[in-house]
Amino acid sequence: MIQILINAMVYLGSALMVYNIFCFIRFARYIREMKAWDGTFSFLYIPIFLLVSFLLGYLAIGLFGKPDLIMAFVLFGGSIFVQIMYRLLNRIVHQVIEGEQLKAELQAAEASSRAKSSFLASISHEMRTPVNVILGMDALALKNSKIPEEVRDQLEKIGFSARHLSELINNLLDLQESGQETNSGSKETMTLQEAIGQIDAVYSFSCREKGLSYESSFDEDLIRSYTGDAASLKRALMNILDNAVKFTDAPGNVRFAVQSDGTGAESPVIRFVISDTGVGMEEEFLPKVFDAFIKEDESSTTRFGGSGVGLTAASHIISGMGGRIDVSSRKNEGSVFTVTIPMLADSGQDVSGGAKPDADSDPAAALEGCHILIVDDIEENAEIVSDLLEIAGAESDCAENGQIAVELFEHSRVDEYDAILMDLRMPVMDGLEATRKIRALDRPDAKRVPIIALSANAYDSDIQNSLKAGMNSHLAKPADSDLLYTELSRWIRCTDRKEAEH
């Protein structure tokens, strides 16, 4: 009985060793095919040669020797040990190779993402540039009170279509950016009341044009500065307000309220409530309201226009900021969107009672008599901005690239320019480099002159690059004339200087 057990262990060990040899041969071929071994392939066959030698020794002992129980156990255990070591080695090598493959795939994906982002930045600039010209020329033509009503109607339709195209471009790029997780999540000190005042200035005008009433309220407890991404927050809120104005017919109203929930002095939760008396939505449609390209009533595309991605883009932005959007609505009664965002209070400042742009005032009036430098390599864009400034009573000079702008500023009188509108993508010298050179000039107004980016490059990374270069603010083309006036009047201090000179 013991001899049978001994023979069984010897021959089973030999059979297992044959299997081990087969496994190592297959393993060596796998390594060679994967090209995962930088050294010589002959090294992989050394274990196979040793295992063949062991097998021959097993067979010799089984056929010609007289192994005892201990020797048989050692032979059988050796084959099992080799099999265990093979499996461990095989698993380790597979994990290493898979890790290298994942690393290579990640690097390829990152390279593809960079190329895609570069392409999108370039194509967005190319798309926005002609749209900016169309909108600018249309706005200038409509300011002419002598044009016939039929021509005015045609110009208004051109402007509507161009704004629709601009909205589609902006929202699609917002979605693409959030899908690539390129949101910078920038953290900068912002005066919340001032940011809301800028939004109010735009939408009070839009509502008046459409025959709607616009109401805005701001919780007095929130009149202070916060740390956050002001540009992204404004873009998200404006997308929701766009939706409210678009789907509300006259004589309706749009309300915008900024509230505090009263919790956390250092990290308060702030609510932005946007309500309207528009067409509203059925309750069963509400879960789909933030889905891209989905509309409750497809006929609304013809009636109201819109791309169907504005709310989706807003949802992505707010989610990236750690907040959420809730919506309630009744068909034919209106909708209420509530944006809730935790914000970090800036302990270094308390701007209670700070200046808030007056939504009912005319921001263009503050530009009368100002002198502004326009830097843009596209002549049509520079002409449009120059004409808009002329309507507001401001003078302007134009520079076709950053180098000329630096030279003009360097040889100008101190405080001759009240502001600089700077494009980013230009030949010879771009706007970022020009801004850095102006800020580095040894003259008293080099640090204080407001420099505002006016560019078709509108990604968060572009905005942050503008601010890091020394610019005060960033406007995306095509810039609405009222938004342009509002932003310029926010930064310009020409009136104060003139009063001081007198």
Per-residue pLDDT of the chain (502 residues; tens, 9 = 90+): 777 787 788 778 788 888 888 888 888 777 777 665 555 556 667 777 787 887 787 777 777 777 777 877 877 888 888 888 888 888 887 788 788 888 888 888 888 777 776 676 667 667 777 887 888 888 888 888 888 988 988 888 888 777 767 777 776 666 666 554 444 445 566 778 778 887 887 788 788 888 999 999 988 777 567 777 777 788 889 889 988 998 999 899 999 999 887 655 556 788 999 999 999 998 888 888 887 656 656 544 445 555 567 788 888 888 888 899 999 999 989 999 999 988 776 655 443 333 444 545 567 788 989 999 999 998 888 988 999 899 889 999 999 999 999 999 999 999 999 999 999 989 999 999 999 999 999 999 999 999 999 987 766 677 888 989 999 988 877 667 778 888 898 888 543 444 444 4
Across the chain, which distance is largest between two alpha carbons, in Å?
Answer: 121
Domains 187-359 and 362-502 equal at CATH topology level: no
Amino acid at 488: L
CATH of 362-502, one of 3.40.50.720, 3.40.50.2300, 1.10.1240.10, 3.40.50.300: 3.40.50.2300
Amino acid at 356: K
Backbone phi, then psi, for 451, in 5-degree steps? -120, 115
Question: Using CA atoms, how far apart are residues 358 and 355, in angstroms rounded to an integer?
Answer: 9
Query: Tokens representing 294?
Result: 């989905």
Q: Does domain 187-359 have CATH number 3.90.1280.10?
A: no
Query: Tokens representing 440?
Result: 């580095």
- Sheet with 188-191, strands from edge to edge, namely 188-191, 225-228, 344-345
How many beta carbons lie within 10 A of that of residue 101, not counting itself? Answer: 12
At 77 the three-state DSSP class reads helix
User: Measured at the alpha carbon of residue 21, what is the angle toward residues 19 and 24, in degrees to the nearest 5?
Assistant: 110
Question: What does 194-260 look like in DSSP terms, one character per residue?
Answer: HHHHHHHHHHHHHHHHHT-EEEEEE-GGG-SEEEE-HHHHHHHHHHHHHHHHHT--SS-EEEEEEEE
Question: What does 423-488 look like in DSSP terms, one character per residue?
Answer: -SS-SSS-HHHHHHHHHTSSSTTTTTS-EEEEES--SHHHHHHHHHHT-SEEEESSPPHHHHHHHH
Question: Using CA atoms, how far apart are residues 383 and 398, in angstroms rounded to an integer?
Answer: 9
Cis peptide before 251 (omega within 30 of 0): yes
Cis peptide before 478 (omega within 30 of 0): yes
Domain ranges of the chain: 2-109, 187-359, 362-502
- Four-point Cα dihedral 167, 461, 199, 260, nearest 10: 120
Question: Using CA atoms, how far apart are residues 421 and 399, in angstroms rounded to an integer?
Answer: 10
